[in-house]
């Protein structure tokens, strides 16, 4: 039986209320993140249905690894979230696995990707820097001119961006994005537009660690999603690497879905319909998040909706 998950909401100083469009009842009007599929200690989704209802995803991962094909990892490997950037996020960078393991108590690093669900006209992201060295970047930080070194990219709905570990980045104001990443919550903040938090204090910066892990003047991977029609539905292969594979499905009608791996993360980003798994019928709609397990053998999607499916 699929594991349907209760979303977790994180208040952020840059958040807003656009996640209400996913059918969520938000605890306040400054919600920056919905963690839809997570077993991370900073946000453990509760399972809503079936024999594991009331348990957290990390519990089921630890105690029923057979549901995940006996996947050989101590921790659940992926995290999927929706971000609402009412204001721009801080300029930050994530470490890779080796640096995080040595400096962050054995945690995962963070390689991630973004699918732009919605973007106001003129919205932009930060992706990379033109600085050619740690010393040059630090000089700009000290001089207050670091924004001049940042690569800014105008974005629109439906676009995808891949963010390798070590790439300095930020999501700008007016963007709602779906993110898939390694199960990590490590960010090294280097610049925050001189903003204060709710207590009137400047948010902590992590400049030394950020400079340790940053890539300078790097060419970002040119990843072009590939589209194909399967059973009259559009399937977009967004990215595939050693850490995750991400596919977007635009379904209209009926799709007999063959799981590519023992377990898959599924999020509905638009529309509504049904999931029929081994004869059991589940209503799904924009904002639904669930895991198809190794026991879910016969899966059919019916309706008009868009899905993002991720797996190792």
Sequence-separated (6 or more) residues with CB below 8 Å from residue 58: 39, 40, 41, 44, 75, 76
State both tokens at 244: 């995750």
195 in active site: no
100 vs 62: CA distance, rounded Å: 22
Q: Which of 189, 195, 203, 261 is catalytic?
A: 189
Catalytic residues: 189
């Amino acid at each position: 039986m699929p594991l349907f998950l209760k979303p977790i909401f994180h208040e952020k100083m840059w958040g807003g209320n656009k996640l209400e469009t996913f059918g969520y009842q938000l605890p306040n009007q400054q919600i920056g993140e919905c963690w839809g599929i997570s077993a991370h200690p900073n946000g453990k989704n509760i399972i809503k249905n079936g024999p594991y209802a009331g348990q957290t995803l990390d519990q089921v991962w630890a105690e029923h690894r057979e549901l995940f094909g006996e996947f050989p990892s101590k921790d659940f490997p992926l995290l999927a979230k929706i971000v609402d950037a009412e204001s721009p996020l801080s300029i930050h960078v994530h470490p890779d696995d080796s640096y995080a393991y040595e400096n962050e108590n054995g945690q995962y690093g963070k390689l991630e990707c973004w699918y732009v669900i919605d973007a106001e006209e003129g919205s932009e992201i930060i992706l990379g820097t033109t600085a050619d060295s740690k010393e040059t970047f630090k000089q700009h930080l000290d001089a207050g001119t670091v924004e001049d070194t940042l690569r800014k990219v105008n974005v629109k709905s439906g676009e995808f961006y891949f963010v390798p570990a070590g790439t300095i980045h930020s999501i700008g104001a007016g963007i709602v994005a779906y993110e898939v990443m390694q199960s990590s919550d490590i960010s090294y903040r280097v610049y925050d537009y001189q903003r204060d938090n709710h207590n009137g204090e400047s948010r902590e910066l992590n400049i030394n660690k950020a400079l340790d892990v940053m890539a300078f003047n790097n060419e970002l991977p040119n990843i072009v999603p590939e589209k194909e029609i399967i059973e009259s539905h559009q399937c977009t292969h967004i990215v595939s690497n050693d850490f995750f594979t991400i596919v977007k499905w635009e379904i209209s009608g009926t799709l007999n879905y063959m799981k590519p791996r023992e377990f898959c993360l599924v999020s509905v980003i638009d529309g509504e319909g049904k999931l029929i798994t081994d004869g059991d019928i589940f209503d799904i709609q924009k904002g639904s998040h669930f895991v198809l397990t190794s026991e879910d053998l016969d899966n059919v999607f019916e309706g008009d909706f868009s899905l993002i499916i991720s797996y190792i």
